[in-house]
Amino acid sequence: MSMHFKSCLSSLKLQIIPTNSQLPKWNIDTVKLKRRNTLIGISSSDKLEVVKHEFKNVGESSLKGLHMIDVMQRLNIDYHFQEEIEAFLTREYVCHHHDLHEIALRFRLLRQRGHFVPSEVFNKFKNKEEKFDPKLGENIKGMIDLFEASHLSMAEEDILDGAKEFSMKILKEKVAQLDNREAMFVRKTLEYPFHKTLPMFTSRNFYYGHLYGTNKWFDSLKELAKLDFSFLQHLRHQEIIEISKYVF
């Protein structure tokens, strides 16, 4: 049986069919791509300096600085401003304000960067029954930021567990009364809290004006985010070109 099998194999002849076909190559104009990368990089650098100047000159407007950091994070461009953000938050560690929106936002931003902030800062918003005052529900910005802050709780921080339950209940009740953009933002926040998402996947659909109004610095950050996205996208294309040299 084995002898018959070997004889059959020896009788087989390998046929090679000639062809002029070649492996497909990526149709990418590398010169044009590099030139575009350079132009985007220059534009990004110029816009970056404008935004850094704006951020460094927020002055006594601590809330404006907090808003700018929040937007930088949500647009996934905060890595450009690490030193400036750290310097600002270090100055803002001590808070003497009484607005829920500002306190909750500052709490989240500080804890995200590893600064310890006692959760007792939210005690001032409780009533005599040691529960969060229902009147806080009228402050939608505050409810959003309280909900976001509650996701940075540590073990045995019951006050933040209560904050999450309270803010979630209020936001779910209020969402039907909000305009379309604000309602969409609230739903997204409830489903995907910022601390548990990846901004690189959500930044393109982020809109800020419906909560805090439009202004020049927001437009500058938005433009920088677009340039940054384009630059990184073309950088990935360049990497693909380099890899393809070894694959094809």
DSSP code of residue 197 = S
Mean pLDDT of all residues in 119-137: 94
Q: For position 217, what pLDDT does the model report?
A: 84
Which of 21-30, 97-106, 195-204, 237-246 is most confident?
A: 97-106
Q: CA-CA distance, 97 to 13, in Å (whole number)?
A: 88
pLDDT tier at 14 (50, 70, 90 boundaries)? very low
Q: For position 205, what pLDDT does the model report?
A: 66
Compute how many other C-beta atoms are within 10 angstroms of the C-beta atom of residue 181.
12
Positive or negative CA dihedral for 36, 42, 44, 47?
negative
Q: Counting runs of H as helices and runs of E as strands, what totals does the chain give?
A: 11, 0
Q: Where are the alpha helices (DSSP H) in 116-215?
A: 140-150, 158-174, 180-191, 199-202, 209-212
pLDDT tier at 208 (50, 70, 90 boundaries)? low
Mean pLDDT of all residues in 84-93: 88
Which of 26-35, 79-88, 166-175, 232-241 is most confident?
A: 166-175
Q: Is 45:80 a contact under the CB 8 Å cutoff?
A: no
The reply to whether the predicted model has a pTM over 0.85 is no
The 10s digit of each residue's pLDDT in 26-57 is 444 544 445 455 545 555 677 888 888 888 88
Contacts of 223 (CB under 8 A, 6+ apart): 47
pLDDT tier at 24 (50, 70, 90 boundaries)? very low
Residue 5 pLDDT greater than 50, yes or no: no
Residue 214: HSE in the Cβ half-sphere, 13 Å Cα cutoff: 3
Mean pLDDT of all residues in 119-133: 94
Residue 18 pLDDT greater than 60, yes or no: no
Residue 68 pLDDT greater than 70, yes or no: yes
Mean pLDDT of all residues in 224-236: 82
Helix (H) or strand (E) holding 112: helix 100-112
Q: Is 138:102 a contact under the CB 8 Å cutoff?
A: no
Rounded to 10 degrees, the C-alpha dihedral 43/48/49/51 comes to 130
Please, what are the domains in the chain? 93-212 (1.50.10.130)
Please identify which residue in the block is written with the tokens 């690189």: 200
Q: For position 204, what pLDDT does the model report?
A: 67
Residue 151: HSE in the Cβ half-sphere, 13 Å Cα cutoff: 17
Q: For position 175, what pLDDT does the model report?
A: 94
Closest CA to 73 of 113, 101, 17: 113
Backbone region of residue 59 per phi and psi (left: phi > 0; alpha: psi in -120 to 50; beta: other values): left
Q: CA-CA distance, 60 to 57, in Å (whole number)?
A: 9
Q: For position 211, what pLDDT does the model report?
A: 59
Residue 67 pLDDT greater than 80, yes or no: yes
Q: CA-CA distance, 48 to 113, in Å (whole number)?
A: 22
Contacts of 12 (CB under 8 A, 6+ apart): none
Closest CA to 106 of 89, 118, 128: 89
Mean pLDDT of all residues in 3-23: 47
Q: Where is pLDDT greater, at 58 or 171?
A: 171
